[in-house]
């Protein structure tokens, strides 16, 4: 069977941190005066949507620090800022697909009983089972909330890479260091949240 991209030579699965995204965003913001209110991802054959933008600032993906590259034929690989109907917009002329090796950043959270941190041997076992993050909470709360028909968004701050040198004070310290980021994230999430009274998981 034929595959969509003509040349799929590089698999783009490297994980990207929040700092990496921030650097890319900062660079873009320093290059254009546009501050988009609307973002349009142009799929195959729809790159011409970007032509409708006025006062354009256009950047090849290859010139944008940290930006992935388009590999699909017909995707120009350009980010175009401009105005449409008086609204500031940005168009991606070229999108990214799982079949190009892109993946969502997601992981598996495992809960240990605590209050002790897992041993190195336990951490290794969990890692071999495919676990990405370990905590001592969250899972029971999610189970109960789901049972009650509530919609749940779980958010964990990863405070340490391993468990051999961690202690609770260290966990709290990372919490303090990241408090501003976490506050911003939750504020943003709540600001965007659509509240409805239909408390069933089907409504998600
Ligand atoms: O908020 P939780 O309880 O998930 O925080 C972690 C897990 C332990 O209670 C504690 C270990 O330092 O922090």
Q: Return the pLDDT at 75.
A: 81
Q: Return the pLDDT at 38.
A: 81
For the entire predicted model, the pTM comes to 0.62
In a domain, 168, yes or no: yes
Q: Return the pLDDT at 2.
A: 40
Q: Return the pLDDT at 13.
A: 45
Atom of ligand 1 nearest to the CA of 172: 12
In a domain, 157, yes or no: yes
Give the pocket of ligand 1 (CB within 6 Å): 114, 135-137, 168, 171
In a domain, 52, yes or no: no
Q: Give me the interface pTM, i.e. the ipTM.
A: 0.96
Q: Look at the chain and report how many structural domains it folds into.
A: 1
In a domain, 189, yes or no: no
Closest CA to 83 of 29, 32, 36, 30: 36
Cα 201 to ligand 1 centre (Å):
27
Atom of ligand 1 nearest to the CA of 117: 11
Q: Return the pLDDT at 202.
A: 44
In a domain, 89, yes or no: no
Spans of the chain, pLDDT less than 70: 1-15, 104-105, 195-204
In which domain, by residue range, is 134 found? Answer: 109-180
In a domain, 128, yes or no: yes
């Amino acid at each position: 069977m034929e595959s969509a991209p003509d040349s799929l030579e590089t698999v783009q699965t490297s994980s990207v941190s929040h700092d990496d995204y921030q650097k890319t965003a900062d660079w873009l913001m320093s290059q254009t005066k546009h501050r988009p209110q609307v973002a349009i991802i142009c799929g195959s054959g729809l790159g011409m949507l970007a032509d409708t933008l006025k006062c354009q600032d256009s950047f090849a993906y290859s010139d944008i620090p940290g930006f992935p590259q388009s590999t699909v034929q017909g995707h120009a690989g350009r980010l175009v800022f401009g105005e449409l109907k008086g609204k500031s917009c940005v168009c991606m002329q070229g999108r990214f697909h799982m079949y190009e090796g892109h993946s969502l950043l997601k992981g598996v959270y495992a809960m240990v009983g605590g209050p002790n941190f897992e041993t190195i041997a336990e951490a290794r076992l969990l890692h071999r089972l495919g676990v990405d993050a370990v905590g001592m909470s969250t899972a029971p709360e999610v189970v109960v909330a789901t049972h009650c028909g509530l919609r749940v968004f779980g958010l964990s701050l990863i405070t340490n890479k391993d468990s051999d040198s961690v202690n609770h004070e260290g966990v709290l310290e990372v919490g303090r260091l990241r408090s501003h980021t976490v506050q911003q994230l939750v504020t943003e999430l709540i600001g965007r949240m659509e509240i409805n009274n239909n408390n069933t998981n089907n409504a998600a």
